[in-house]
Amino acid sequence: MKTSRIVALAVTVCAAALVAALGKPAEPAPAPAVAASIDPAYMWDLSDLYPSPEAWTAEHDRVKAAVEGFDKYRGTLGKSAKDMLAALSAFSDARRAGARLAAYAGLKADEDVRISENQERQQLAAALQTQFNEKTSWVTPEILAVGADKVHRFETEEPELARRFGFYLGDILRQAPHTLSNESEGVLAAAGDVLAQPDAIYSVLANAEAPFPTVRLSTGETVTIGQGTYSKYRQSPIRADRKAVFDAFWGMWKKYEGTLGATLTAQVMGEVFNAKVRHYPNSLAAAVFADNMPEAVYRQLVAQANAGLPTFYRYLKLRRKLLGIQDELAYYDIYPTMFKLDHPLHFSVADSERIGLDVTAQYGPEYVALLKKGFAGRWMDVLPRPGKAGGAYMQGAAYDVHPYLHLNHNDDYEALSTLVHEWGHAVHTMLTHDNQPYENSNYSTFTAETASITNEMLLNDYMVAHAQNDQEKLYYLGEALELMRGTFFRQTMFAQFQLQLHEEIEAGHALSGKRMSEIYCSLLKKYHGEAEGVMKIDPAYCTEWEFVPHFYYGFYVWQYATSMSGAAIFADAIEHEGKPAQDRFINLLKAGGSEYPYTLYKKAGLDMATPAPYQALIARMNRTMDQIDALEAKAH
């Protein structure tokens, strides 16, 4: 999965609250020698948002005063179309201004996480959002009380109400069967902090209190295997070192199997409880309701990933062959690179921008013009430096300005791929803002990730086609395989695990850490072909579920697997059909949040409830391995 996050069109939505899913924690980035003195051209200009911190404070105070006056609109929504438009416009204007305030606060804080004033400004922006939510908590019940017939009559009487708020009003009316009385809604809201505690407990244990083990490597070096270093050392080219890392790391987690089983059970129970009291048939239905996504999409994803396991087994057998493993492939053999380069690849920021323009030329001149406009502006903070937050993200919340991009470009292929990925989000945002009113600009994660992952797939195809030699081609093809392995098969395995946990509780069965490890172990063995003799899964590693923070985010990770599948079919179509496919893709991006993602995909020619998108992704994976086989045969 691409290590990025979108900080999008509310104050912080998509993955902003879920940094571990789409981005890296906001920790200071390393400072390579090349970044010792940063050219201002490689830093963003936040004066496009506010000319000074003082201007931000003045605007914050103005918006806060406006929000404090929202009580005057209470009871007015059903009086007339003009009254409803006036109230919703006031709320929208404040939300829009608040999002811009939060964008500046977050960007400024990430410039240097050591500056307390910037962190405090971020707290003020978050508090303003909380106040906004409190002051508008009555709006949905009041609109529902007005009733669908009267709302539709108001829309006819006042076209501006329909233009700006038609989708919003329709979405609220859709929630009627799942909206409770004011008193019950208040109780559920008050329970929110309690229901959030499983994640809080997990975070404290996993990030602060767990005593991470040390391992003595074959080099004689002794290293601590913690949250960050585990990812580094599991890629070791020395197999004995990889095994030692896995044994120590998962051995430590095993000690907390009971505790983390209890926290995750509480999380699942909370989600099942919420679904039940809101009258959903099950917790999955509750989870997909917000995007109006049919349950069939989730279940089709799982079914097609399982049907495509022979392709995944083929990948694992290829990995075993390329790593030169003579005995059984083990789970700790998943991460080391299959292809090495004699000389490291180097892509400067200018190189990455040039390649990005070449790649996205396949979308047509409108897309390229927007990308050139972005590159010409100071919209990026590109290079790492002391104190700067790590990771990468696109901040698109300032509807009236432009997107900003936070990167830590270190001149390798991953940096190139990240830049192209994040600009996929940024151009999506620009197209949406140019074609939708603010109220319809908050697009779904489903379409957001398709926009960026399509860029990555086209980039990979481009790099293979323009590689200097077969060694480079193999490297790029290997990177493509890892993207599909991690984002499609692994995330779908996670999704299947989550679904099984919820179905266990819904069926009245008990859950425990031990039971979770049994369920996870069964899935690990199935996905990695133990019965087929592809990989032997050591039961000691079946506590991996304990390490995954995504399971505390509800039904979340599956969105990336579906998005990648949509990207696969778009990439193929754009490369082979040309303009008709370009137009479908660009129109999807322009639509923003004006309709539900499932509908937008269907208008673009994709039905995500059918096998076709997932089969396109699996076919792409097979084609990639065909190319690798051909190059390997040529070399021998």
The residues annotated with a catalytic role in the active site are: 422
Q: List the one residue out of 518, 530, 547 whose CA is nearest residue 330.
A: 530
Region class of 545: left (phi > 0), else alpha (psi between -120 and 50), else beta: alpha
CA-CA distance, 292 to 135, in Å (whole number)? 26
User: What H or E segment, with its residue span, contains residue 337?
Assistant: none
User: What H or E segment, with its residue span, contains residue 103?
Assistant: helix 81-111
β partners of residue 330: 536
Instruction: Give the max Cα distance, the chain.
Output: 80
CA-CA distance, 557 to 22, in Å (whole number)? 10
Helices 491-506 & 257-277 angle (0-180, nearest 10): 70
Q: Where are the alpha helices (DSSP H) in 278-394?
A: 283-289, 295-307, 309-323, 349-360, 365-376
Using alpha carbons, list the distances in angstroms from residue 1 to 53, 341, 453, 486, 558. Answer: 35, 22, 10, 6, 12
Using alpha carbons, list the distances in angstroms from residue 70 to 91, 182, 478. Answer: 8, 18, 55
Neighbours of 51 (CB within 10 A): 10
First to last CA, the chain: 33
CB 613 within 8 A of CB 569: yes
Q: List the one residue out of 236, 168, 106 whose CA is nearest residue 595.
A: 168
* Strand blocks (E) in 150-210: none
